[in-house]
Structure 1
């Protein structure tokens, strides 16, 4: 079933309303339902008010407590799976303020320990030099740029937390994308080489002649095995359904098996940096 991006929050509202209706039909108060589900009453209230997105496990616990029919359980579970997907449009993000997005990412990074990044066409902010970060925000409102640059650079501190593990897969197109002048791009590539020596950071390179299989490609990020984001040009899609996350992990693993790492990656990066400096 195709879902229009601007309607992706509608399943969340419908799910919240349906769970509330089913609770009332069962003659249970929020307090009694919470006790049956081993949840807090405030969590039940937030779920029914569409203030918190329930996991599939949460929904299944609620449905068991309400003793609904198998047909109703299947309908609600299907709706819950759709509600696990969220569209974040670029225009909406700019209206809210790009700094808000940076704070959201920082919280997600603080609560995660294993990170997987597939970078198709540009270098992510965590790996970017200040010049690259500023250039990547070139079309942002000027009043947001300075604060967002500072927050992006501040977020890079997470890379030096040795309790966290990062794997970045970059295509040749992402590494060599001419977002900044050649000399600055050479320094950006040198920065990737330096970061690849960090013990908790793996940087894999996918040269242009690497075959990544059929189908459309896009940048995506996986946080632990809980949340994933995919980034088409006009925004981002957030996946929370475990099946979607596992599909992306499987895709990432296929790409990872073809990537150059360690010394092989650094040799390739050095060649590309020198090509920038020499004008090749």
Structure 2
């Protein structure tokens, strides 16, 4: 399926109108549909008015209740997938203020219990030292002090024992020399330290041996309900369960190539010593 970023917002209203028209053509009331789908009449009303973006399960129940034929059902299901997709480009985020983006992430982290991070080319803010955070924002115009402070503040979520975290980093992500050698050694020592938190699994995928596939993007999974995929110009936010499950499956395959625990910390220590020697 092709996503057109400029159409994603409009697709929600298109979907609402399609669901409303479908019910009316079937000659059914919102109350009837709500009873058949085991949901509240308010939920049906909110979906038809565009106040609520339905998940695909909601729409599948509605299509079945109304006896919608295959061509029309397929079209509406594609609309649901698009409506559950959001594009956040970097330029808009910068105009709003990157510190506000950090607030949005903090809210997502508050309601999430299981996190999975696949880090292809860089270390994520939750694992970064202050120097690494500053360097990652160096090319962004304006005063980034608020954003840096909020990024570091968000790291406290790692100590919430009610949550679980799995971080997968490629060797490239770990060793990319964004900082001076000594500062990179400190960053790798932080990774090793975080890996000892009981509810955190931190693994590294070494550039050794044979890996039969090639990852294309950094992505994050929040429980089973949300996936974010990073590109060079923005972030794709996916809520359709098919998209989220696809990335969960990708994550599980990549996880099989990673090393964890003492073996991971031995690699981190080895690479840290390489940076230290470069400093001397």
Deviations 1:120-175 (A, max 9, x none): 110001101111112212233424x1221122112111111112111111111111
Aligned to 2:43: 43
Name the stretch that deviates more: 202-211 or 229-238. Answer: 202-211
Cα distance in 2 between the residues matched to 1:35 and 1:253: 39
The alpha-carbon distance between structure 1 residues 146 and 48, as it changes in their structure 2 partners (threshold 3 A), is: farther
Q: In 2, Cα distance between the equivalents of 1:264 and 1:258?
A: 13
Compare 3-12 and 150-159 and name the one that shifted more: 3-12
Q: Are residues 1:14 and 2:17 paired?
A: no
1:25–1:162 distance in 2 versus 1, CA, 3 Å: same
**In 1: Cα distance, 2:130 partner to 2:42 partner:** 43
Cα distance 1:243–1:2, how it changes in 2: closer, same or farther (>3 A)? same
Moved more, 28-37 or 103-112: 28-37
The match for 1:5 is 5
Residue 244 (structure 2) pairs with residue 218 (structure 1): no
Deviates more, 1:155-164 or 1:176-185: 176-185
Kindly report the root-mean-square deviation, in angstroms, between the aligned alpha carbons of the 2 structures. 2.2
- Asked if 1:62 is matched to 2:67, the reply is no
State the alpha-carbon separation in 2 of the partners of residues 258 and 65 from structure 1.
Answer: 45
**Counterparts of 2:207 and 2:179, CA distance in 1:** 20
Report if aligned partners of 2:120, 2:215 keep a CA contact under 8 Å in 1.
no
Q: Counterpart of 1:109?
A: 109
Q: Which runs of 5+ in 1 are unaligned?
A: none
Counterpart position of 2:227: 228
SS in 2 for 1:92: helix
In 2: Cα distance, 1:101 partner to 1:49 partner: 28
- Report the alpha carbon displacement of residue 96 of structure 1 after superposing the two structures with TM: 2.3
- Give 1:90-101 correspondences, 5 Å limit: 90-101=90-101
TM-score by length of 1: 0.89
Q: Sort the Cα spacing of 1:75 and 1:223 in 2 relative to 1 into closer, same or farther, 3 A.
A: same
The 5-angstrom pairing of residues 1-280 of structure 1 reads: 1-26=1-26, 30=30, 33-34=33-34, 36-143=36-143, 145-279=144-278
Change over 3 Å in CA distance of 1:149–1:196 after alignment to 2: same
| Worse overlay, 232-241 or 46-55 | 46-55
**Structure 2, unaligned runs of 5 or more:** none
Tell me if structure 1 keeps the 8 A contact 2:36–2:65: yes
The residue matched to 1:142 in structure 2 has which SS?
coil
Residue pair 1:212, 1:255 contacting (<8 A) in 2 also:
no
Evaluate the alpha carbon distance shift between residue 93 and residue 48 of structure 1 in structure 2; reply closer, same or farther with a 3 A threshold: farther
